[in-house]
Structure 1
Amino acid sequence: MTATPAQPYSPSEPRVPRVSRAVPPPPPRTRVRGASGPLRDVLALVGLPLVAALALPAAFAGGGTRRWFGGRAENQRAEAQAAKDAAAAAFYELDTAQRDLRISVETINAVDSSPAARRAVSDFEALGRRIDEASHQYIEAVDAHDLDRDDLEASAASRARAELTAAKEELGRVRQELDRFADGLGPLLGKAETQLARLAPAVERARQALLAASESLDTARGSGLKADDLAARLAVLSPELTRLNQGAGQHGVPQTLERAERVTREAEAIRVEAERLPERAAEIDHRLVSLRTRAQALTTRSEQVEPVLSELRRRFTAACWQDLQHVPDSAAENVARAEDRLAEARRAREEQRWADATALLSTVRALLNTTDEAVSAAGDRLRRLNAVQKDPEREIERTRFAIRDAQRLAMAGRNTPEPRHARPLDDAVARLDRAVAGLEGRHPDYWHFLTETEEVRTAVGRVVSRIREERGGAAH
């Protein structure tokens, strides 16, 4: 079989795919393939003598595929290819920078609703339109020129190089605008990232607080306490946990942070109350016993008020005891009301209505305090009247000492006192003299005398306080 002569290699390289935004990486430079047959086979087929073959362009020496063009055309092709590679790199870098910056802008938009944040989002959208325009210019330049055509003319390669270079420069200018915009986002981005950094820990704290509250509630119930009110409060928080689990993407970062903090506070309060339930129950039991004992003691003491009033009526004028006439009846009524409230508090304790039991016990305590004061007032009145009847001079001297002490303070460092200080002190002296004069006679009103001297001392005390405040302010 006669050997078939080798056929000349006809390069048919695949074209570079059209550039699009979905394929940002720069395309690789096309590799030039070598000749497929020996040089003598090529010479035989084209019918050229050896000397003519030696005069062919040197493209054959390197295994190049473009055999019929050389010199200037190939140089223009190479420059155009270099411009295309540079433009592709600029396009890829701009696209990458835009995608990275979009993450930052979306972060700010999700966290910050301030006018500055809204303006940043708007500016980024405008930059996006500029980027689209520059990208469209680049893609059109790439699609308009097939640099891998065998018959590419030098003028076409030159135009391709110029258009691709212009596209690259425009991409570079837009990239600079994008970089300046990114630099200005620093404060807003820092604030947003701070809030985002708080988000996950805040949500986790809320979950842990709810879990702790639930466990404390289970422990309390395990000890025989119902804690229905705490269980109802915890149930209200369940929808909030669902919203937290749905995430900030659905509800917003600020709202999620606020919800997480509120859930944490309320769950923590439930946990504390659940843990205190056994202690609270014991405290209510103790108060029930204590207040019951106190009510019984006041019942006994109130029975002693009537003998005290009888002695007051027998030894002193009506003005000394008339205001105490209601004490026995009031004391009995208050103690009866206190015992009724105690019975209600005991039922609330048995039903584990802790708030009701606590409120009722507070009412009982207030009733007993009022009764205690009234019962004590009767005995205290008799004691003071006995003392002043026996020695009125002691009360008089006590009041005069207070007046003289105030007069010395008013005169300290002065030849004459200030009228605003001297006048009330003079009135106090006159008032004391009238009270002393009222003790004369067969049936003096000792209670009026005691209340007058007490009011005189109070008025003198106000003058002393005013003098010290004025002098203290002048010293500063």
Structure 2
Amino acid sequence: MTATPPQPNSPSVPGAPGHPARQASFPVRSARGARLAVRDTLALVALPLVAALVLPAAFAGGGTRRWFGGRAESQRAEAQAAKDAAAAAFYELDTAQRDLRISIETIAAVDASPAARRAITDFEALGRRIDEVSHQYIQAVDAHDLDRDDLEASAAAHARTELTKAKDELDNAKRELDRFTDGLGPLLGKAETQLARLAPAVERARQGLLSASNALDAVRGSGLQADDLAARLAALAPELTKLNQGAGQHGVPQTLERAERVAREAEAVRVEAERLPEKAAEIDHRLVSLRTRAQALTTRAGQVEPVLSELRRRFTVACWQDLQGVPDQAGENVRQAELKLKEAQAARDEQRWPDATALLSTVRALLNSTDESVSAAGDRLRQLNAVQKDPQQEIDRTRFAIRDAQRLAMAGRNTPDPRHARPLDDSVARLERAIGTLEGRHPDYWHFLTETEAVRQTVARVVAQIREERGGAH
């Protein structure tokens, strides 16, 4: 019985352009699982080919062939062995190519880098080389019928030569394929890592959306509105649709990025929803606290005018002139704060939480400013009373700061650094001039206090500079 070798373009040939196994496309889930699936499928498809190539030699005879002894049968056996070896090489190459195709599909689905695109192009070129040697092998099989009864020794020897050559070419192509596969390691590892992250990331996004929805329902059930949070959650619905459509439609990197972003945004909505009752209570507390503070400042602002009267009576104009506008400004600030408090209360009642928070921040800033200006009048009077009673305490305090800085500047030196000595010498002179302003019938105590404070600030800067330079030197 004569077996006809498969034709090069026959769909029954594994690796031929129309063969189902060559055209098969396997969904990429995990690279390892995909390879196993392909290998199992390939074994079922390709084994009949090996059987077609090998079985005729094994079962020919049995009354169907006339056996001739001698050289012809020896050559026939060698040719058949070469044919079997070539068939095995073809199957091994085809199997390796299919495994590699799964790897390339994995990389293509995940990686759009230049290296990945180059690998895909190189694989296509290698595929053309494999198709070429596969075609040569099939031609060699087609050209020689080793089951012919009248097969001559020379024809068998020629068949063996061509089949051996075809096997060598298949082996060379297999080695090229192996080298190419080895070089794909980094790209494949990166792709498989992303694939391994994909399913958990999508699941986290889905669970995050579910948790956010549940938290929002719980808040609304307690009587609080959360329209802004509901709008943010609704905006994620199209993203969930794309996640459900899968990476096959939208790409693995894009789907992975989308899943991580959806998970982050859903988590933010959940956290804000769960904190909303606490936020409402906090706003209520701030409303009460700031309202009480505004009332207290109204009382304190009314006490500024008597303080100013005493300042005017006992000290020069320069000591109190900058405080003249404090009572009017304090009253205006308190009125503005009370107005904003009413607006904040309305926003809270309507559960416009961002508006309520912003208005309360404005109220706090107004009251802080008022508190500082009202306190400034009382502080000024206390300072002036103290320096009028005993200016020497302020003088000694400032001189001590200068002397301490001078000792530091001279530490470990025979002469001070001019960068340090000059501002310290100027500070000594400035202090003496400030002391001179205390002489006369109407001393300007406030000028004296501002001057001594300025001297101490200058000295402090010099000390900080010396310590920074010496610290850097070590």
Q: Given that residues 32 and 65 in structure 1 are in contact (C-alpha distance below 8 angstroms), is that contact kept between their aligned partners in structure 2?
A: no
3-state SS in 1 of match to 2:55: coil
1:16 Cα deviation after fit: 4.0
Identify unmatched segments of 5+ residues in structure 1.
1-12, 35-62
2: CA distance between counterparts of 1:226 and 1:461?
55
Amino acid at match of 2:428: V
* 1:167-186 superposed matches below 5 A: 167-186=166-185
Which amino acid is the alignment partner of residue 121 of structure 1?
I
Matched, 1:408 2:430: no
Shift of 1:382: 0.7
Offset of residue 81 of structure 1:
2.1
Q: Structure 1's 146 and 333: CA in aligned 2 closer, same or farther, altered over 3 A? A: same
2:64 maps to what in 1?
Answer: 65
Q: Aligned partners of 2:166 and 2:181: how far apart in 1? A: 22
Instruction: Summarize deviations over 1:49-97 as a string: whole Å, max 9, x none.
Output: xxxxxxxxxxxxxx54323634333333322222222111111111110
Match of 2:280 in 1: 281
- The 8 Å contact of residues 220 and 227 in structure 1, kept in 2 or not, is answered as yes
Answer yes or no: is the 8 Å Cα contact 1:203–1:260 preserved in 2. Answer: yes
Q: What is the 5 A alignment of 1:336-347? A: 336-347=335-346
Alignment-derived partner of residue 434 in structure 2 = 435
Question: Could you tell me which residue of structure 2 aligns to residue 223 of structure 1?
Answer: 222
TM-fit CA distance, 1:33: 7.1
Deviates more, 1:268-277 or 1:251-260: 251-260
Aligned residue for 2:254? 255
Q: Map 1:207-246 to 2 at 5 A.
A: 207-246=206-245
**1:234-267 per-position Cα deviation (integer Å, ceiling 9, x unaligned):** 1111111111222222222222222121111111
Cα distance in structure 2, aligned partners of 1:403 and 1:15: 113
Corresponding residue number in structure 1 for 2:155: 156
**1:150 partner SS:** coil
**Cα contact 1:425–1:460 (8 A) shared by 2:** yes
Inter-CA distance 29–273: structure 2 relative to 1 (3 Å threshold): same
Aligned partner letter, 2:3: R
Question: Which residue of the partner structure matches residue 6 of structure 2?
Answer: 18
Kindly state the Cα deviation for residue 411 of structure 1 after the two structures are TM-superposed: 2.0
Change over 3 Å in CA distance of 1:346–1:76 after alignment to 2? same
Displacement of 1:224 in angstroms is: 0.9
The match for 1:6 is: none
Matches within 5 A, 1:300-315: 300-315=299-314
Work out whether residues 5 and 138 of structure 2, in 8 Å CA contact, stay in contact via their aligned partners in 1.
Answer: no
Cα distance in structure 2, aligned partners of 1:340 and 1:169: 94
CA–CA distance in 2 between the matches of 1:380 and 1:342? Answer: 29
Contact 1:407 1:425 in 2 (8 A): yes
Q: 1:112 to 1:382 in 2, by over 3 A?
A: same
The answer to whether residue 292 in structure 2 is matched with residue 293 in structure 1 is yes
Cα distance in 2 for partners of 1:79, 1:242 equals 63
CA contact (8 A) 1:346 1:357 kept: yes
Is the contact made by 1:385 and 1:447 (CA closer than 8 Å) also made in structure 2? yes
Counterpart of 1:125?
124
| TM-score normalised according to structure 1 size | 0.88
Counterpart amino acid of residue 349 in structure 2: E
Deviation at residue 107 of structure 1 after TM alignment: 1.3
Counterparts of 2:147 and 2:447, CA distance in 1: 123
- State the partner residue of 1:397: 396
Q: Is the 8 A contact 1:24 1:88 kept in 2?
A: no
Distance 1:85 1:70 in 2: 22
User: Are 1:29 and 1:81, in contact at CA under 8 Å, matched by a contact in 2?
Assistant: no
Aligned counterpart, 1:9: none
Kindly name which structure, 1 or 2, has the bigger radius of gyration based on alpha carbons.
Answer: 1
1:48 corresponding residue in structure 2: none
CA distance in 2, matches of 1:433, 1:404: 14
C-alpha distance in structure 2 between counterparts of 1:124 and 1:72, whole Å: 45
1:385 equivalent to 2:384? Answer: yes
The count of aligned residue pairs is 435
State the secondary structure of the residue aligned to 1:24: helix
Return the TM-score normalized by structure 2.
0.88
Cα offsets for 1:186-220 (capped at 9, x unmatched): 11111111121112211111111111111111111
1:320 to partner: Cα distance: 0.7
Q: 1:214 to 1:425 in 2, by over 3 A?
A: same
- Secondary structure at the aligned position of 2:46 is classed as coil
* Aligned AA (1:167): A
Separation of aligned partners in 1, 2:169 and 2:382: 105
Q: Which amino acid aligns with 1:18?
A: P
Q: Aligned residue for 1:470?
A: 469
Structure-2 residue corresponding to 1:29: 55
Per-residue CA deviations over 1:429-470 (Å, capped at 9, x if unaligned) read: 111111111111111111111111111111111111112222
Amino acid in the other structure paired with 2:338: E
Which residue identity lines up with residue 460 of structure 1 in the other structure?
V
Is contact 1:109–1:118 with CA below 8 Å preserved after alignment? yes
Letter aligned with residue 212 of structure 1: S
More displaced stretch, 233-242 vs 359-368: 233-242
CA positional deviation for 1:368: 0.4
